């Protein structure tokens, strides 16, 4: 798993590559926390996410909670159909801004 961070105005874009699994959740969480420390407008680009497990979902849910508390924004972009199914099955597609 790799996260490439770019800035666009006040928004931080996290380009995520690889698998968001139990093995990568701690590293992913640290990357997300660092981004939230810099900006309260985060966009996660899922173009190159090949797998999403419950551990990855926990990190994303935690980020949403932290940003909600800070009146921030979390957006999930370029979510592939197979990854979108994970959000739909868990009912989280109604919680997140997914495109």
State the pLDDT at residue 99.
86
Contacts (Cβ under 8 Å, ≥6 apart) of 1: 16, 17, 18, 19, 20, 21, 24, 27, 28
Tokens 């909600």 found at: 68
pTM exceeds 0.85: yes
Give the domain CATH number at 62.
3.30.750.24
- Alpha helices for 1-99 (secondary structure H): 25-38, 54-69, 81-90
| Residues of the domain holding 36 | 2-98
Domains held by the chain: number:
1
| 19 neighbors 1 (Cβ within 8 angstroms) | yes
State the pLDDT at residue 65.
97
State the pLDDT at residue 51.
97
Q: What is the pLDDT along the chain (99 residues), one digit of tens a residue?
A: 999 999 999 999 999 999 999 999 999 999 999 999 999 999 999 999 999 999 999 999 999 999 999 999 999 999 999 999 999 999 999 999 998
């Amino acid at each position: 798993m790799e996260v490439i961070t770019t800035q666009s105005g006040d928004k931080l874009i996290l380009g995520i590559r690889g698998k968001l699994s139990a093995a990568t959740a701690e590293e992913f969480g640290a990357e997300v926390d660092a981004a939230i420390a810099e900006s309260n407008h985060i966009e996660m680009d899922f173009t190159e996410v090949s797998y999403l497990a419950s551990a990855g979902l926990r990190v994303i849910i935690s980020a949403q909670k932290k940003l909600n508390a800070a009146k921030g924004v979390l957006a999930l972009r370029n979510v592939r159909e197979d990854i979108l199914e994970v959000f739909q099955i868990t009912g989280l597609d109604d919680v997140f801004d997914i495109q």
